[in-house]
Amino acid sequence: MLTLGCHLSASNGYLHMGREAVSLGANTFQFFTRNPRGFKVKTLDLDDCAAFNSFWAENNGGRIVAHAPYTLNACSADPHIRELAEMIMSDDLERLENINGVYYNFHPGSHVKQGVEVGTDYIVELLNKLLKPGQKTIVLLETMAGKGSEVGRTFEELRAIIDRVEHSEKLGVCLDTCHVFDGGYDIVNEPDAVMEQFDKIIGLDRLHAVHLNDSKNTLGSHKDRHELIGEGNIGLDALVSFITRPEIKKLPIVLETPNDLDGYKREIAMLREAAKA
């Protein structure tokens, strides 16, 4: 069975998300660690964490994904914004140690005219401060569409970060199907070649999670607008064959499509059915 789920709201806590996921036919899910605007965070409820951990284990839940606020920029030219990114990520990671089997995914950042090398330096610097040998949580760099000055639009850019991170055993990648497609990787016509490239440049052992989205835009558009599964330019067939690839089907796969809960429930059921065939 696929480890498949969707993005959920964290506002009612972990146990609530776990129950909601199960009711949607999901055995994984993703959530924002805090309000992306303003970075507000609830006080950590250790009872809720423990209740979730046992509920999730009883229900055979797979690994889940915490998403850092996407407004955070680890490679801003402004030192205050970089400091804020460090504070928030370090606080998030500390909290996540109370949750079993969770990944922490983040957008590497936007270098805004500083150039990708300078951007990479800042991201590496931050990860070298944050990643500790004893931590349970693996941090994931998300593959980006290359909108504006986003770092992480190519596999090489992600590799350049990983190469310079000391505790890179705590670092991996989350592949977003909409982002790689918008970034110019043809997962519709040449999925084998794309995944071969991923393996050669980053290594499949670094791939820990997938964001499953269709795209409103075309191959190489560098746009990043998610579409419902089967309604975009990637299409249902390509997405189904992607998630049934041997190296992908064992990973947590999370929908970030423009849906309400009913819509997610339908997409999860549809994909489970299609992936069986």
Positions in the binding site for Zn ion (CB under 5 A) = 224
Give the residues across from 255 on adjacent strands: 6, 212
Stretch that binds Fe ion, among 1-9, 39-47, 93-101, 175-183 (CB under 5 A): 175-183
- Cβ proximity to Zn ion, 67 vs 95, nearer residue: 67
For the bound state, the minimum distance from the C-beta of residue 19 to Zn ion, rounded and expressed in Å, comes to: 27
Using CB under 5 A as the binding rule, the residues of this chain from 219 to 258 that contact Fe ion are none
- Cβ proximity to Zn ion, 48 vs 224, nearer residue: 224
Stretch that binds Fe ion, among 24-32, 77-85, 142-150, 165-173 (CB under 5 A): 142-150
For the bound state, the minimum distance from the C-beta of residue 85 to Fe ion, rounded and expressed in Å, comes to: 15
Catalogue the E-assigned strands of the chain. 3-7, 28-32, 64-67, 102-106, 138-142, 171-176, 207-212, 214-215, 226-227, 252-255
- 211 belongs to the binding site for Fe ion (CB under 5 A): yes
* Phi, psi angles (nearest 5°) of residue 160: -60, -30
Residue at token pair 């590496």? 124
For the bound state, the minimum distance from the C-beta of residue 107 to Fe ion, rounded and expressed in Å, comes to: 6
- Cβ proximity to Zn ion, 62 vs 152, nearer residue: 152
Pick from 200, 194, 161, 193: nearest CA to 180: 194
For the bound state, the minimum distance from the C-beta of residue 256 to Zn ion, rounded and expressed in Å, comes to: 7
- 176 belongs to the binding site for Fe ion (CB under 5 A): yes
88: CB partners within 8 A, 6+ apart: 34, 39, 68, 69, 72
Pick from 265, 169, 193, 267: nearest CA to 227: 267
Pick from 212, 240, 206, 248: nearest CA to 227: 212
Q: Which does 211 bind (CB under 5 to 8 A by kind): Zn ion, Fe ion, none?
A: Fe ion
For the bound state, the minimum distance from the C-beta of residue 142 to Fe ion, rounded and expressed in Å, comes to: 5
* Chain residues in the site for Fe ion (CB under 5 A): 142, 176, 211
